[in-house]
Amino acid sequence: MSKLKISTVQTVSRTTAQGDIYEATRPDNDSPWEINFPTGSERFHGSQTEVLAEIGRVIAIHSASTDD
């Protein structure tokens, strides 16, 4: 007998004042988050709270690099 695994995709996102969208998704708790942002993407292992903090860090880095 096969096991049916139902997964719920988790998604979190933040939009900057400039309209840039930073979004993270993962298919289940055992998978890394895939964070997508205007200049690329990265994978991140952690909780929802941790990935939101990581998105904030990425936004800060991108904001600092465009302020020059």
Using 50, 70 and 90 to split pLDDT, how confident is the model at 22? very high
Is 1 a member of any domain?
no
Is 3 a member of any domain?
no
Query: CB–CB of 13/23 below 8 Å?
Result: yes
Q: Hey, which bits of 1-68 come out as E strands?
A: 10-15, 21-26, 33-37, 40-44
Number of domains making up the chain: 1
Q: Could you tell me the residue range of the domain that residue 46 belongs to?
A: 10-66
* Count of CA atoms in the C-beta half-sphere (13 A) of 42: 12
Condensed to tens digits (0 to 9), the pLDDT of residues 33-60 reads 999 999 999 999 999 999 999 999 999 9
Give pLDDT, residue 7.
66
CA distance 22 to 47: 16
Q: Rounded to two decimals, what is the model's pTM?
A: 0.81
Taking the alpha carbons at both ends of the chain, their separation in whole angstroms is 61
